[in-house]
C-alpha cells in the first residue's frame, strides 16, 4: 500500500554522529514514500525491485548502493527475492550533511566530502566497481559497535566521493517538498502503483481525485515535478528493468506484464528512458554480474 510522502524524524543520539538500520524483511520491501533531514546510504541485498528517488525511477538488483540527499523523497520497493530461504536485506546508514561538510572544511584530507554532499543532494547511484569496493566497508560498519564505526564510515564516504562513474538520479528541477501529499494525491498514486500493469486513463484518475483532467495534471506536476504520463512510463520501465535483470522471461512477456499492449511502444519508451534496447540492457547487467562473480 502506498504511503504519503511523509516527513520522517529519526531518533537522535547525542553520543554518535551516524545511525544505522539492518533491515531484514520476510514479506518484501514496502513502498513507503518519505523524506528526512539526514542523508541516507542504502545497500540492498538478496532482492530485485525498484528504487524511487525524487522524480527518478529505476530497477535495482542485488548489491545496489545508492545515496539520497537531505530531504529528498525516496523509497525502495521489492517483492522478489534471489534466495528464498533468506530475507529481503537492506543495510541503511544515516548521517547529517552539515556534519559531513564541517569535516570537509576542517581537514584538507577530507575536503572532497564538502562538494560530495552537494553532488549527492539529487541522489547518486554508484558504479559497479565502487559498489564492489564499498560493500565490505558497509558490512564492516554493521559488525562494529556504532561508536567504533566512525573511521570506517569516513573511509567509506571518501571512497564514494572519488567515484567519477556515479550517476545522478533525480532531475535538477525536482521540487523537494517538506510537506506530505494531499489526500487526493495519495489516492491517485495509490491507484497508479497498484494498477500500473493495467490500462490507466486520465479520466479514471481524475475521478479518483475528484478533479477535472486539467486539474489532475496541474496537481501531479505540482507535487511530483513530472507529468502523469512520464511518471507512469518511468514506473513501468523501472519494473521492466528489474525483471530483465532478475529473470529469463522473454522481452515480449515482460512488456505485457508491466502494462504494455504493444511491444513496439515498450521498446520505444525503453530506448528513450534508458538509451539502450531492453536486450542490450539485459546483456549489460548480466555481463556486470558475471564480472563481479
Give residue 292's pLDDT: 45
Whether pLDDT at 52 is above 70: yes
Yes or no: say if 274 and 237 are a contact pair by the CB < 8 Å rule: yes
DSSP letter (8 states) at residue 29 = B
Whether pLDDT at 33 is above 80: no
Average pLDDT in the chain: 86
- 127-158, pLDDT tens digit by residue? 999 999 999 999 999 999 999 999 999 999 99
Give residue 187's pLDDT: 84
**Bridge partners for 44 per DSSP:** 64, 90
Residue 141 three-state SS: helix
Give residue 240's pLDDT: 85
Report the largest interatomic distance among the alpha carbons of the chain, rounded to a whole angstrom: 57
User: Stretch 204-226: mean pLDDT, rounded?
Assistant: 88
Give residue 13's pLDDT: 74
Q: Which of 69, 37, 39 is nearest to 54 (CA)?
A: 69
How deeply is 164 buried, as exposed, middle or buried, from its count of CB atoms within 10 A (0-12, 13-18, 19+)? exposed
Give residue 172's pLDDT: 66
pLDDT class of 173 with cuts at 50, 70, 90: low
DSSP per-residue codes, 4-17: P-EEP-PPP-TT-S
Q: Considering just the CA atoms, what is the radius of gyration of the chain in Å?
A: 19
Amino acid at each position: 500500500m502506498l504511503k504519503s510522502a511523509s516527513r520522517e524524524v529519526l531518533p537522535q543520539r547525542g553520543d554518535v554522529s551516524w545511525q544505522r538500520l539492518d533491515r531484514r524483511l520476510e514479506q518484501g520491501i514496502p513502498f513507503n514514500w518519505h523524506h528526512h533531514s539526514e542523508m541516507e546510504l542504502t545497500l540492498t541485498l538478496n532482492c530485485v525491485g525498484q528504487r524511487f528517488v525524487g522524480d527518478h525511477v529505476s530497477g535495482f538488483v542485488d548489491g545496489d548502493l545508492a545515496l539520497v540527499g537531505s530531504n529528498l523523497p525516496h523509497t525502495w520497493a521489492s517483492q522478489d527475492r534471489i534466495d528464498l530461504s533468506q530475507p529481503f536485506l537492506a543495510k541503511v546508514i544515516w548521517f547529517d550533511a552539515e556534519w559531513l561538510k564541517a569535516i570537509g572544511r576542517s581537514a584538507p584530507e577530507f575536503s572532497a566530502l564538502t562538494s560530495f554532499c552537494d553532488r549527492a543532494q539529487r541522489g547518486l547511484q554508484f558504479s559497479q566497481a565502487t559498489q564492489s569496493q564499498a560493500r565490505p566497508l558497509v558490512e564492516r560498519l554493521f559488525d562494529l559497535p556504532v561508536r567504533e564505526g566512525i573511521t570506517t564510515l569516513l573511509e567509506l564516504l571518501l571512497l564514494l566521493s572519488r567515484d567519477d562513474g556515479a550517476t545522478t538520479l533525480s532531475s535538477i528541477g525536482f521540487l523537494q517538498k517538506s510537506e506530505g501529499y494531499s489526500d487526493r494525491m495519495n489516492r491517485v498514486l495509490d491507484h497508479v502503483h497498484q494498477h500500473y500493469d493495467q490500462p490507466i486513463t486520465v479520466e479514471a484518475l481524475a475521478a479518483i481525485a475528484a478533479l477535472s483532467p486539467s486539474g489532475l495534471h496541474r496537481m501531479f506536476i505540482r507535487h511530483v515535478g513530472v507529468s502523469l504520463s512520464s511518471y507512469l512510463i518511468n514506473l513501468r520501465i523501472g519494473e521492466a528493468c528489474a525483471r530483465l535483470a532478475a529473470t529469463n522471461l522473454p522481452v515480449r512477456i515482460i512488456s505485457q506484464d508491466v502494462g504494455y499492449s504493444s511491444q513496439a511502444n515498450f521498446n520505444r519508451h525503453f530506448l528513450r528512458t534508458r538509451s539502450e534496447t531492453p536486450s542490450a540492457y539485459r546483456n549489460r547487467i548480466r555481463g556486470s554480474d558475471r564480472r563481479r562473480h
